[in-house]
Amino acid sequence: MDTIDQKRRSENMRRIHSTDTAPELAVRRLLYGLGYRYRLHRKELPGRPDLVFASRRKVILVHGCFWHAHACKDGHPPKTNQVYWSAKLARNVERDARNQSALLSLGWECLVIWECQIRAPALGLQKTLVTFLEGRGATSSDR
Ligand SMILES: [Zn+2]
């Protein structure tokens, strides 16, 4: 293994468990500006969801396209070390699915916001967030 791989690997280990990523901060800033208040990373909930709206019983999960293997142009594993990356990213996807179904079974509605949605025009994102938080019953995820 060369040093670039080692660097990427430790970067991976750090980022996959990290909080306060740039996309997450962007969503938090937007919602805060709209007057929403939320708790962050509640440990007692499955997967420590990024944003928790307790009185609405809703959570928002902000996913990086690469680390959570989104079906978009940023979601593909690298060409090198394919075995390692495929296994790694597949585990992440499994964990996401497990956490989301655990949240749903506890009565929490989940909205997944992808990193690439945040880069898209902000009004679209704002509408998605508000529709989710104000709406009743529908769970939105584009996976
Ligand atoms: Zn994406």
pLDDT tens-place values along the chain, 143 residues long: 455 566 665 555 555 556 678 899 999 999 999 999 999 999 999 999 999 999 999 999 999 999 999 999 888 888 889 899 999 999 999 999 999 999 999 999 999 999 999 887 667 899 999 999 999 765 555 44
Average pLDDT, the chain: 86
- How far apart are the CA of 95 and the centre of ligand 1, in A? 18
Distance from C-alpha of 115 to C-alpha of 70, rounded to nearest angstrom:
9
- How far apart are the CA of 117 and the centre of ligand 1, in A? 7
- Tell whether pTM > 0.85: no
Q: What is the pLDDT of residue 1?
A: 47
Q: Are 136 and 92 within 8 A, CB to CB?
A: no
Q: What is the pLDDT of residue 66?
A: 92
Q: Are 51 and 62 within 8 A, CB to CB?
A: yes
- How far apart are the CA of 71 and the centre of ligand 1, in A? 6
Q: What's the alpha-carbon Rg for the chain, to the nearest Å?
A: 16
**132 Cβ neighbours under 8 A, 6+ residues apart:** 58, 60, 109, 111, 140
DSSP string, 53-80: EGGGTEEEEEE-TTTTT-SSTT-PPPST
